[in-house]
Chains A and B, each alone.
Chain A
Amino acid sequence: MIRPRHLLICIILFITASSFAQINANKILRAVYVKSQKAKDYSVDVNIKVDMPFIRMMPINAKIYYKQKDKFKVESKSIAIVPREGFDQASKMLADTNSFTAIVQGNELIETIQTTIVNIIPLSDTSDLILGKLWINTQQNSILKSQLTTKSNGTILTEYFYGTQAVYGLPDKMIFSVDVKKFKIPKSVSADINNTDKPDKTKENKKGKIFINLTNYQINKGIPDNIFKK
């Protein structure tokens, strides 16, 4: 029989655990954020490969420029398709810890690395972010995976692979996964008059991926602001 005394103890334990989880989450996120701030600016050569239903393109080379706090530019002779929110969504989000509540959800093994899963819940109703989930390597204070669901961009799952610039929290490789079922091709624009091909219905509910390899980082070398002007 459950007595009120037992219930009270459970509640107190729960609240304590939650608080502890929250404090722990904030601490983890803070550590990640601090590390990410080491690179005040950088430029990097990228190779972008798009594997997406409804999109066909060859891998292209581009250059990315970043400068704190939020200057970001993709420079390419070719047309480059990149995730809408850029590459640093997770880091941007971590800058304002007052705008969300972070809770440790658990642990997960990614490859051979133990990660802590931190859920991020925005405090404001008007925030674009609906829910965030980060898989963090607490040993290295780096994000191995992020899943961000926003009102404007849907859900984007990002995997990070680190190498030479791990000390700055800058990945050598990223894989973005986006949900493609929202893509609808406007018939009037495609102008395939008399096209007798049938549309491929098998592609309607798939995930699309963007593979980005980052090489030749130039970190904290100074980037003038005019580079970021359009």
Chain B
Amino acid sequence: MMFWKSTYNEFIKIAAKPRSYIGIGAITLILGIILFAMKADGMNFISFVTRPFEQSLSFEGNILNGNLIAFIILQMLIIHIPLLIALVTGDLVSGEAAMGTIRLLLTKPISRTNILLSKYLAGCAYTLIILLWVGFLALVVGKLLFGSGDLLVLNSDGLIVLQEHDLGWRFLSGFIVAYLSLVMIATLSLTLSCFSENSIGPIVTTMAIIILFTIIGALDVPVLQKVQPYLFTSHMVAWRNFFEDPLPTKKIISSIAILFLHIFVLLYIAIYKFNKKDILS
């Protein structure tokens, strides 16, 4: 019971903080610009994708449709959304330490583990809200503006055309896995927050880790190739696997497992640190 009361408290705090709306506002602005740009000049973008094939082939049908827009948006924002998530979740513990409210919070008759988990749950809920907002703008508004149709996906090994009736479950599954990768980011920033007494540190460190791991993951160096499959950044785009045909089930399961493993390990570290921590601020 206390856990849910604490979670409710955390929702109130997140909802009251101005920084929580930076993420939502930024996403709305970015997506608005993308939708406008695609409406104005989307066909040129499409031709860039289809150009390798257009010497011999012609693409007919509504290529520039809401499903493609949603896919493009998800792909573009996968680097940016983590920063907006970390902005809030990285502040959940360290922000309280910086403000001094942690002293009062941890003298209440609720275990530290419960407090941390309630913050975590609230952070995950905020992450879900962000993703749902992205989904709404991308899919719903995208379809209103561009209509519906098949999805043209360009991968490194070619072009896939996924039929419209086959996209519902793919998008749902893709969003679920994208959510998992964002929860991973939230977990990372929350864990870092337990080690810090200020808000900026965990946010910047989270982004630095993402950038560093992304670079390591992209380097074609033999010694790094052993490590690459286990980096969480290698699985941040796991949601894209749902837009392959045939579905690479093994790859998807592996990505989900690795993301979950990261989440559990980081959460364990966070709980351990938060419980052990002497509150001196």
A residues with a Cβ closer than 8 A to B are: 53-58, 60, 62, 74, 76-84, 86, 152-154, 156, 178-180, 182-187, 189-197, 199-200, 210
Contacts and interface: CB of A to CB of B under 8 A. Distances in A.
Given A76-B61, A77-B164, A194-B214, A54 B159 contact: yes
B154 interface: yes
A184 B55 contact: no
Given A187-B156, A194-B237, 8 more contacts: A77-B62, A78-B164, A79-B63, A80-B61, A82-B58, A86-B58, A192-B237, A199-B156
A60 B163 contact: yes
Contacts of B217: 193-194
B218 A179 contact: no
B71 to A, nearest CB: 10
Q: Interface residue tally of chain B, by bracket?
A: 35 or more
Given A193-B217, A194-B228, A194-B234, A81 B58 contact: yes
Closest 6 CB pairs of A and B: A54-B158, A57-B161, A194-B217, A79-B61, A74-B60, A79-B150
Contacts of B56: 83-84, 153-154, 156, 178-180, 182
A193 B237 contact: yes
Contacts of A86: 58
The interface residues of chain A, by DSSP majority, are classed as: loop
A55 B158 contact: yes
Given A189-B48, A190-B156, A83 B164 contact: no
Contacts of A192: 155-156, 237, 240
Interface in B200-247: 214, 217-218, 225, 228-229, 231, 233-234, 237, 240, 245
A185 B161 contact: no
Contacts of A180: 56
B160 interface: yes
Interface in B58-87: 58-63, 75
A58 to B, nearest CB: 6
The interface residues of chain B, by DSSP majority, are classed as: mixed
Given A183-B52, A193-B237, A76 B60 contact: yes
A230 B57 CA distance: 18
Given A77-B164, A189-B49, A197 B157 contact: yes
Interface string B27-66: 0000000000000000000001100111111111111000
Nearest to A183: B52
19 contacts: A54-B53, A54-B159, A55-B159, A56-B160, A57-B159, A58-B166, A62-B61, A77-B61, A77-B62, A81-B57, A81-B59, A81-B161, A83-B58, A179-B56, A182-B55, A185-B52, A187-B156, A192-B237, A195-B155
A180 B62 CA distance: 24
Contacts of B166: 58
Contact of A80 (B49, B54, B59, B154): B59
Interface string B235-264: 001001000010000000000000000000
A203 B181 CA distance: 33
A200 B157 CA distance: 7
B152 interface: yes
Kindly name the residue among B53, B57, B156, B217 whose own CB sees the greatest number of chain A CB atoms within 10 A: B57
B157 A184 contact: no
B240 to A, nearest CB: 8
Contacts of A79: 59-63, 149-150, 152, 161
